[in-house]
Structure 1
Amino acid sequence: MYNANVNNAPASIMKKNRGGDIDSEVILKALEARDEEIKGFSEKAAKEILSIKDRLMDLEQKGARRRGPATATGDDAVGKMAETFTKSSQFEMLKSGAPTTGRVTVDNVSIKALTNAGQGVADSTGYSASPQRQVGLFNDPRRELSLLDYLPSLPATSSSFEYVQLKDYENNASEQEEEGQQKAESNIDSELETANIATIAHWTRASKQVLDDTPVLGQQIGSLLNYGLLEKLEARLIAGPGGKGKIKGLLGYAVPHEVVGSLLPVDAIGQAVTAMKNSGWQARLIIMNPNDWFTISSERDADGQYVLGSPRDPAPPVLWGVPLITSGSMPAGTVLLLDTTQLAMLDREQPTLMLSREDGSNFTSNLVTLLAELRAGLAVFSVGAVRSVDIAQQPEG
Structure 2
Amino acid sequence: MKHPNILAASSAAALAMGATIAPGYVPPEFGRKGEGDAPDIMQLSRDLKAATDKVKEFAEDAKGRLEKGEQLTTKAKESADEALVKFNELSAQMTEIEQKFARFGTGGGKDADRKSVGQQFVEAEDVKSFMERCPSKGSVQFGTKALITSLTTDAAGSAGDLIIPDRQDGIIAPPERRMTVRDLLTPGRTNSNAIQYVQETGFVNNAAAVAEGNLKAQSDLKFDLLTKPVATIAHWVQASKQIMADAPMLQSYVDGRLRYGLAYAEELQLLKGDGTGSNLLGLIPQAVAYNAPFVMAQATMIDQLRLAMLQAVLAEFPATGHVLHPIDWARIETTKDAQGRYIIGDPKTSGTKTLWGLPVVDTPAQTAGKFLTGAFKLAAQVFDREDANVTLSTDDRDNFVRNLVTILAEERLGLAVYRPEALVFGSFPAAA
TM tier, smaller: 0.5 to 0.7
Q: 1:214 Cα shift?
A: 1.9
Gaps of 5+ in 1: 1-49, 62-68, 75-111
Q: Which residue of the partner structure matches residue 196 of structure 1? A: 229
Q: Which residue of the partner structure matches residue 387 of structure 2? A: 350
Counterparts in 2 of 1:115 and 1:269: CA distance versus 1, 3 Å: same
Using the alignment, how far apart are the partners of 1:219 and 1:184 within structure 2? 67
TM-score, normalization: structure 1?
0.67
The answer as to 2:415 corresponding to 1:378 is yes
Please give the secondary structure, in 2, of the residue aligned with 1:361.
helix
Using the alignment, how far apart are the partners of 2:158 and 2:409 within structure 1? 52
Of 223, 228, 232, 2:261 maps to 228
TM-score, normalization: structure 2?
0.62
Using the alignment, how far apart are the partners of 1:193 and 1:267 within structure 2? 35
Q: Which residue of the partner structure matches residue 344 of structure 2? A: 308
Please give the secondary structure, in 1, of the residue aligned with 2:199.
strand
Counterparts in 2 of 1:130 and 1:365: CA distance versus 1, 3 Å: farther
Of 98, 109, 114, 1:72 maps to 114
Q: Which amino acid aligns with 1:191?
A: D
Q: Which residue of the partner structure matches residue 182 of structure 1? A: 215
Identity score, percent: 32
Using the alignment, how far apart are the partners of 2:359 and 2:415 within structure 1? 21
Q: 1:278 Cα shift?
A: 2.2
Q: How many residues align?
A: 294
Counterparts in 2 of 1:363 and 1:130: CA distance versus 1, 3 Å: farther
| Regions of 4+ moved over 3 Å | 112-119, 122-127
Counterparts in 2 of 1:126 and 1:323: CA distance versus 1, 3 Å: closer
Please give the secondary structure, in 1, of the residue aligned with 2:319.
coil
Q: Is the 8 A contact 1:199 1:376 kept in 2?
A: yes
Q: Which residue of the partner structure matches residue 105 of structure 1? A: none
The answer as to 2:180 corresponding to 1:146 is yes
Give CA-to-partner distance per residue, 1:52-84, whole Å, 9 cap, x none: x99xx7xx88xxxxxxx953399xxxxxxxxxx
Please give the secondary structure, in 2, of the residue aligned with 1:335.
strand
The answer as to 2:164 corresponding to 1:130 is yes
Q: Which amino acid aligns with 1:208?
A: K
Give CA-to-partner distance per residue, 1:214-254, whole Å, 9 cap, x none: 22222111100000001100101111111232101111101
Q: Which residue of the partner structure matches residue 288 of structure 1? A: 324
Using the alignment, how far apart are the partners of 1:253 and 1:134 within structure 2? 49
Q: Which amino acid aligns with 1:193?
A: L
Using the alignment, how far apart are the partners of 1:134 and 1:209 within structure 2? 22
Q: Is the 8 A contact 1:163 1:194 kept in 2?
A: yes
Give CA-to-partner distance per residue, 1:148-194, whole Å, 9 cap, x none: 2221111122222111122233332222221x422222232322222
Counterparts in 2 of 1:323 and 1:149: CA distance versus 1, 3 Å: same
Using the alignment, how far apart are the partners of 1:183 and 1:319 within structure 2? 47
Give CA-to-partner distance per residue, 1:305-332, whole Å, 9 cap, x none: 1111243324521111111101212112
Q: Which residue of the partner structure matches residue 99 of structure 1? A: none
Using the alignment, how far apart are the partners of 1:244 and 1:386 within structure 2? 24
Q: Which amino acid aligns with 2:181?
A: L
Using the alignment, how far apart are the partners of 1:366 and 1:228 within structure 2? 25
Give CA-to-partner distance per residue, 1:14-35, whole Å, 9 cap, x none: xxxxxxxxxxxxxxxxxxxxxx
Q: 1:206 Cα shift?
A: 1.2
Structure label with greater radius of gyration: 2
Q: Which residue of the partner structure matches residue 215 of structure 1? A: 248
Please give the secondary structure, in 2, of the residue aligned with 1:142.
coil
Counterparts in 2 of 1:128 and 1:236: CA distance versus 1, 3 Å: same
Q: Which residue of the partner structure matches residue 373 of structure 2? A: 337
